[in-house]
Structure 1
Amino acid sequence: MAEHIHGKINFSSLVYDYVLFAIPLCGAEENRIIIIGAGVAGIAAAATLHEMGHSNILILEGSSRVGGRVKEVELGEYTVETGAQWIHGLGNNPVLDLIRQYNVSYRITDYEDFLIYDENGTVITEKSQSVYEKFETVQTNLEKIRASMLSYQTPDTTLRQVLKKSGWIPKSPLEDAVEYYDFDFEFTFSPDSISAKYGADKPNYKVSNSTPGVDAMVNDLRGYSYPFRKLLSKTLHSSSDSAILLNKVVTHVHQNGNHVTVRTSDDKSYVGQYVISTVSIGVMQSRSIQFEPSLPNWKMNRFDQFQMGVFTHMYFQFPFTFWDDKEYLIYASSRRGYYTIWVNIEKLFPNSRILQATLVGEEAKRIDRMSDEDIKNEVLSVLRNIFFKKNIVIPEPDSYVIPRWLSDPLFKGSFSNWTPGFTEDMKMTLCNPFGRLFFAGEACSKNSFGFVQGAYKSGKLTAKNLLDCMNDSCKTC
């Protein structure tokens, strides 16, 4: 018996020619490696396995597309990213290498190009200068305190506590907005929920030999996922034994002797010698996959303790452009995090008339439960406050896109970050293999957790470790 899939796959609203292969379900289990998830980590793992000479690979993807949390959609005649949007670090970054290899266009981000508004529509950017000077001093002190905590093995605490020790105690909407722009906007959590030792550090830039904050935004009509789709297509076309099945939501992983059986929600079973799971921390925390034998309590505790954040960027295409020609618009609301960050997509796509609103953390969780219509009305209300003094009648958007990563059962959030009190030893064992079950994904990356390159590097490393294990016949496999 075999399953056959041919034809076109609709990646979001973008359609690409893509050929999938027949899957023999009997007689192919020997040496088969099953990969759960066709996101960046899963694709990197498949490509690495193939490069190292292992061609018997089956990828089970729960959605109707590949790319995972790198996802683009069409808005009018433009392509916008509802998942990963930035290339973080322009130094020794393997994702940047792929981007360049496939000629994907991008634009360097200028985080200094912004205006700040108060709730009355007054531009208060000049007033922020002294606040930023104070904040930069605090950042310098923060690095010193963090280095001392690491050197002397001081117990971890929240970033908020260390900021207070450095003299930073926000007392105004402007100070809240400055803090939010620097921390929440990057880590999806407020300083109250970030590890002082590790959560706000930026080892990703250090290992990439890149200046912190030097990023770029993809502005390619083919989407950020294009190089990963091409990499997967190349891998599958190079092997008659490798394949991918879409719309296969994994519900059970059963290890039995020298093989593993993976069951999907359509009551189909797939047998392999090993499994690489690339599902997110959020999915692991949701207990939507049953493991037999059960994962040890200590391991599930690791998954539960590492944080999964929510980062929601929404796009609104208006009949005309009414906002300022700055890359970022910052709204200093008396309610911390309430539509604080706005991104001018005109900088990526001139004349697109698209404005992006970004919510993270608790505000992103809040709107995840709201209807699109209610969110749109809330957005328009905020825009009327921001541009109140310009006497502009804010128009209804022609179209808009509102993703929901938290409620999506295949993701249950956007990306991970380090919880206060989560130790280095705990992080090192977070994604250790269990029997014939291996793990990969951005949360598994030592230095690039939360980033696309973290998922990519983790997928490659896990594939290499698995093959080393197979070749050495190590008992831990």
Structure 2
Amino acid sequence: MATSEKLYDIIIIGCGPAGIAAALELQKYQPTPSFLILEARNRVGGRAYTDTHTFTANEPIDLGARWIHHYRPENPLSIHHTPSDKDRFSYQFFNDTTTTAHFDYDGTSWSEASMNEAEKIVEEFYAHIKQYDSTKEDISMFDAIRDKYEKIQDEKIRRLVDMKLAFVEHYEASNLSKLSTKSYEKSDNDIKPCDLTLPIGLGSFIERIVERNHLPVQLNAIVTHINIPIDKNNSICISTQDQQQYMSKYVLITIPLGCLKKHGIHFTPALPDWKQNAIDRMGMGLLNKIHIQFPFTFWDEKFEDIFISSNRFRFFGCAPQDHILILFVAGKLAHELEQQTDEQTVEQIIQCLQPIYPQMPKPTKWLMTRWGSDPFAYGSYSNFKTGSTHETVEELAKECYDGRIHWAGEHTNYGGTIGCVDSAFESGHREAKRIYNKLN
């Protein structure tokens, strides 16, 4: 075991958005504290990653986060963004508009009357969820609407209702049967939707921030153990898989909630019960993307999205200039597909599309994410599962071990949004300020 001779003021574990934001905050101070970022991957950015080598494409292929959510002057990412005439803004997660094609699973188009009927039912469901008695024990969103849902007699309308309910499931990356009724709509902290799509891709945008600011990052540094001495005058020891040891006064942990749930880092002494309970209680969603490229564009190029009332594959984004369809899958289905081969999944997707496009060609390339199996993610982003509250987020953010171990990440961003890149950035800024104040 090789031990670094340098004693750092701060070691940041994880060079995703939260770790990057913390480092940027520390660089503002004079004198600048000595710090190092330990990143397990061979790249920075976490789930913000733009693929540039799989496809020959005009549009960037973002495998994880795609948008700067909640774009506004207060967004901590806005100061790093130079506006471009190629920027694209959207104001809802799924643009269910005139640029969206709607099909039933058999290829027939939905009538406007059916669409309106299903929309009315879904609005009633969500109104019922919002009216749930806050003094009662929390239940899942599906349990809150189960009785009303089971009264839908028309199977066609039920399929359309399922598709519209799936908007929330894909936004939160979990099924309604897992999501909290009492915490419904709390993840965005009442900030109006405004999402910015960048022409270079969000992953490339984040990577350039790191390069431009010359952040000190050690890649391929998989932290396995953190030893916190009882004597506060002794340094914390961080051990990595490659037998390296680093010494620091403070540690900021920014790894994903999914990795914390999997006990990826061993703490000595063990984490306090209240911290472990918060980790267990908070939800971790899974949203995967499947990019499929064809030899030519066989769908109407005026459509930005294709929505299908299938019980499996519902939401396709369209990139006609690159002949690519982007399928979004979430929750239970996303976990199931990770257990299949790419070829099995592609064949099932083709079977879903063929009733609508019987003359469609065979795909030439595809790329599928498996964030649920990724050892440095184990999921996509946090959500409020049944029984979790804003108090859970506060506990995830709360420092421990006499204030020497700090926590950041989108899942810790109490008082703000959760689940997004800007959420992670806000939390990183917050904790860097706290640690700096302790050093001074």
User: TM-score, normalised on structure 1?
Assistant: 0.82
- Give matches, 1:441-460, under 5 Å: 441-446=409-414, 447-460=416-429
- Post-superposition CA distance 1:258-309 (Å, at most 9, x none): 3111111111111111111111111011112111111012211211121111
Q: Residue in 2 aligned with 1:329?
A: 306
- Post-superposition CA distance 1:327-361 (Å, at most 9, x none): 2211112x3xx011111123xxxx11111011000
Q: Residue in 2 aligned with 1:247?
A: 220
- Post-superposition CA distance 1:123-153 (Å, at most 9, x none): 115221221133234434544x15x62xxx4
| Structure 1 residues 125 and 469: CA distance shift in structure 2, 3 A | farther
Select the residue among 376, 380, 383 that pairs with 1:410.
Answer: 376
Q: Distance in 1 between matches of 2:419 and 2:267?
A: 25
Select the residue among 266, 277, 284 that pairs with 2:260.
Answer: 284
| Structure 1 residues 194 and 381: CA distance shift in structure 2, 3 A | same
Q: Residue in 2 aligned with 1:17?
A: none
Which structure exhibits the higher relative contact order, with contacts defined as CA atoms closer than 8 Å and separated by 6 or more residues?
2
Q: Residue in 1 aligned with 2:51?
A: 73
Q: Distance in 2 between matches of 1:284 and 1:353?
A: 39
- Give matches, 1:210-225, under 5 Å: 210=192, 212=193, 214-218=194-198, 220=199, 222-225=200-203
- Post-superposition CA distance 1:197-243 (Å, at most 9, x none): 21x3145262x4x3x4x43433x2x321233223323433xxxxx62
Matching residue's letter, 1:282? G
Matched, 1:364 2:367: no
| Structure 1 residues 36 and 466: CA distance shift in structure 2, 3 A | same
Q: Residue in 2 aligned with 1:91?
A: 72
Q: Distance in 2 between matches of 1:253 and 1:444?
A: 20
Give 1:25 deviation, angstroms: 2.9
| C-alpha contact 2:49 2:204 (8 A) present in aligned 1 | no
| Structure 1 residues 104 and 410: CA distance shift in structure 2, 3 A | farther
Give 1:98 deviation, angstroms: 4.0
Q: Secondary structure, in 3 states, of the residue corresponding to 2:26?
A: helix
| Structure 1 residues 138 and 91: CA distance shift in structure 2, 3 A | farther
Q: Residue in 2 aligned with 1:195?
A: 180
Q: Residue in 2 aligned with 1:440?
A: 408
Gap regions ≥5 residues in structure 1: 3-23, 237-241, 472-477
Q: Secondary structure, in 3 states, of the residue corresponding to 1:252?
A: strand
Q: Residue in 2 aligned with 1:464?
A: 433
Matching residue's letter, 2:101? L
Q: Residue in 2 aligned with 1:340?
A: 314
Q: Distance in 2 between matches of 1:372 and 1:165?
A: 38
| C-alpha contact 2:66 2:201 (8 A) present in aligned 1 | no
Matching residue's letter, 1:414? S
| C-alpha contact 2:72 2:78 (8 A) present in aligned 1 | no
Q: Secondary structure, in 3 states, of the residue corresponding to 2:161?
A: helix
Q: Distance in 1 between matches of 2:391 and 2:408?
A: 17
| Structure 1 residues 306 and 367: CA distance shift in structure 2, 3 A | same
| Structure 1 residues 235 and 319: CA distance shift in structure 2, 3 A | same
Give 1:63 deviation, angstroms: 0.7
| C-alpha contact 2:80 2:209 (8 A) present in aligned 1 | no
Matched, 1:46 2:23: yes
| Structure 1 residues 166 and 44: CA distance shift in structure 2, 3 A | farther
Give 1:156 deviation, angstroms: 2.2
Paired residues, what number? 419
| C-alpha contact 2:62 2:203 (8 A) present in aligned 1 | no
| Structure 1 residues 461 and 105: CA distance shift in structure 2, 3 A | farther
Q: Secondary structure, in 3 states, of the residue corresponding to 1:225?
A: helix
Give 1:99 deviation, angstroms: 5.6
| Structure 1 residues 463 and 99: CA distance shift in structure 2, 3 A | closer
Q: Distance in 1 between matches of 2:101 and 2:80?
A: 30
- Post-superposition CA distance 1:420-460 (Å, at most 9, x none): 11233333112211222111101011231111111110111
Kindly report the root-mean-square deviation, in angstroms, between the aligned alpha carbons of the 2 structures.
2.4
Q: Distance in 2 between matches of 1:246 and 1:85?
A: 23
Identify which range, 118-127 or 282-291, moves more after superposition: 118-127
Q: Residue in 1 aligned with 2:210?
A: 232
Matching residue's letter, 2:379? G
- Give matches, 1:27-66, under 5 Å: 28-29=6-7, 31-53=8-30, 54-66=32-44
Q: Residue in 2 aligned with 1:158?
A: 140
Q: Distance in 1 between matches of 2:437 and 2:239?
A: 26
Select the residue among 120, 126, 134 that pairs with 1:139.
Answer: 126
Q: Secondary structure, in 3 states, of the residue corresponding to 1:276?
A: strand
Identify which range, 163-172 or 273-282, moves more after superposition: 163-172
Give 1:65 deviation, angstroms: 0.6
Q: Distance in 1 between matches of 2:295 and 2:80?
A: 32
Q: Residue in 1 aligned with 2:356?
A: 386
| C-alpha contact 2:48 2:206 (8 A) present in aligned 1 | no
User: TM-score, normalised on structure 2?
Assistant: 0.88
Q: Secondary structure, in 3 states, of the residue corresponding to 1:316?
A: strand
Select the residue among 166, 188, 209 that pairs with 1:204.
Answer: 188
| C-alpha contact 1:342 1:356 (8 A) present in aligned 2 | yes
Select the residue among 105, 116, 123 that pairs with 1:119.
Answer: 105
Give 1:318 deviation, angstroms: 0.8
Give 1:164 deviation, angstroms: 4.7
Q: Secondary structure, in 3 states, of the residue corresponding to 1:94?
A: coil
Q: Distance in 1 between matches of 2:355 and 2:211?
A: 48
Q: Distance in 1 between matches of 2:425 and 2:42?
A: 21
Matching residue's letter, 2:319? I
Give 1:115 deviation, angstroms: 2.2
Q: Distance in 1 between matches of 2:204 and 2:34?
A: 24
Give 1:385 deviation, angstroms: 2.9
Q: Distance in 2 between matches of 1:465 and 1:101?
A: 29
